[in-house]
Chains A and B, each alone.
Chain A
Amino acid sequence: QVQLVESGGGLVKPGGSLRLSCAASGFTFSDYYMSWIRQAPGKGLEWVSYISSSGSTIYYADSVKGRFTISRDNAKNSLYLQMNSLRAEDTAVYYCARQNFQLLKGWFDPWGQGTLVTVSS
Chain B
Amino acid sequence: DIQMTQSPSSLSASVGDRVTITCRASQSISSYLNWYQQIPGKAPNLLIYAASSLQSGVPSRFSGSGSGTDFTLTISSLQPEDFATYYCQQSYSTPYTFGQGTKLEIK
Contacts and interface: CB of A to CB of B under 8 A. Distances in A.
Contacts of A102: 49-50, 53
Interface stretch (B15-23, B68-76, B87-95): B87-95
Interface stretch (A11-19, A44-52, A66-74, A80-88): A44-52
SS of A interface (majority):
strand
Contact of A95 (B31, B43, B50): B43
A105 interface: yes
Interface residues of A, number: 23
By DSSP majority rule, is chain B's interface helix, strand, loop, or mixed? loop
A108 B89 contact: yes
Interface of B: 31-32, 34, 36, 42-46, 49-50, 53, 55, 87, 89, 91, 94-101
17 contacts: A44-B99, A46-B98, A47-B89, A47-B94, A50-B94, A59-B94, A62-B95, A102-B50, A102-B53, A105-B32, A107-B91, A108-B89, A109-B46, A109-B49, A111-B44, A113-B42, A113-B43
